[in-house]
Amino acid sequence: MAKITTKPVKLKYSKPVRKVGSSKYKGRESSRQDDEFYNIKTRDLSKMVDGSILQKRIAQYRHWFKFVVLAKELSDQDAVIIFKKKEHEIKLDESMYEGWGLDTIVSKNFNDWFFKENHRDLFINDIARVMSPKDKVSSSSDKVTIEFDSNRRLADAIKDLRRLNNEQDLFKNESSGMKAKFSMNGRVIEHTLQNRYNALVLRLEGKLSNKEIVTHELQYIRPTSMKTKDGYSTQVEHKDDLAIQESQKRTTKYQVEHSSESYLGRVIEPNYAITMFDLMTGTNNSWGAFQILLSVCDGYFIKHPTKTYTE
């Protein structure tokens, strides 16, 4: 395998995360993520923290935390990664992580760091609430106090709120609907992100081959489609995956010409190098582990708002 750093590195705190629980795939990852994203009950309950709300689910901040710890370890070793045939120095911009406690973060457990040390405050926003006559109106520029007649219809009150916002620009109007001190840029698909992190850590450790990483019994690389529901050692064309390919009208490395229906159940010889290449360098539609790491070094997760690191 080609080397990915100019010199060997040693990771003490960054470790690949094994899959726990049932190993059976329960459906397409994209469907699970869509349900999570659009089902307001699931989405909001997973983002509530002591009366405040997170931009994303707590599990996704765990991923950010792990990438920061990895970036810190590599930065302290003056590591240089090789990406797109260019050398990129790993240097964590600590000025972008004020309040994270970078001096000690590498040895921290995420739950202790996030909850016990209250670093969750870096990511939360207050949710709307009904004030009582005894409550004091906040003078903070980040708070808006609006009075509604409770006899009005909810639909009319919402129209009033939108009108007031259009007239006075009351809310920040960010695409995510959130304005925390540290915000994520891009949608997080947890299995995909975990696969990228694990692939990068295991390649940095340099102990396993591409095949060993992809097919490891601890499932460091999780299935993300029906094609790989039983792991990456065998890949089988499934009607759901083929339907997606046809609807998107694009060709993948696994797709063949002629009718998709002719290839249902077709066993595909896996190409472990290509699988790892996609995880490390990304595709046209998603960033790879290298880009995520470089973006984290610059203070952003998942995607840098202006850089792609490919030029």
> What confidence tens digit (pLDDT) does each residue in 26-36 have?
444 445 444 44
Taking the CA atoms of 230, 231, 233 and 239 in sequence, report the sign of the dihedral they define.
Answer: positive
Separation of alpha carbons 85 and 17, rounded Å: 28
Average pLDDT over residues 206-227: 87
> Rounded to two decimals, what is the model's pTM?
0.70
Separation of alpha carbons 197 and 92, rounded Å: 17
Instruction: Reply yes or no on whether the pLDDT at 246 is more than 50.
Output: yes
- Place 237 in a pLDDT band, splitting at 50, 70 and 90: low
Could you tell me the residue ranges of all domains in the chain?
29-122+184-234+270-302, 134-168
- Place 141 in a pLDDT band, splitting at 50, 70 and 90: confident
More confidently predicted of 53 and 43: 53
Separation of alpha carbons 286 and 126, rounded Å: 31
CB–CB of 99/182 below 8 Å? Answer: no
Q: What is the pLDDT of residue 157?
A: 87
- Place 170 in a pLDDT band, splitting at 50, 70 and 90: confident
Query: 191: closest CA among 7, 31, 10, 81?
Result: 31
More confidently predicted of 134 and 205: 205
More confidently predicted of 208 and 124: 208
**Chain position carrying tokens 């840029």:** 185
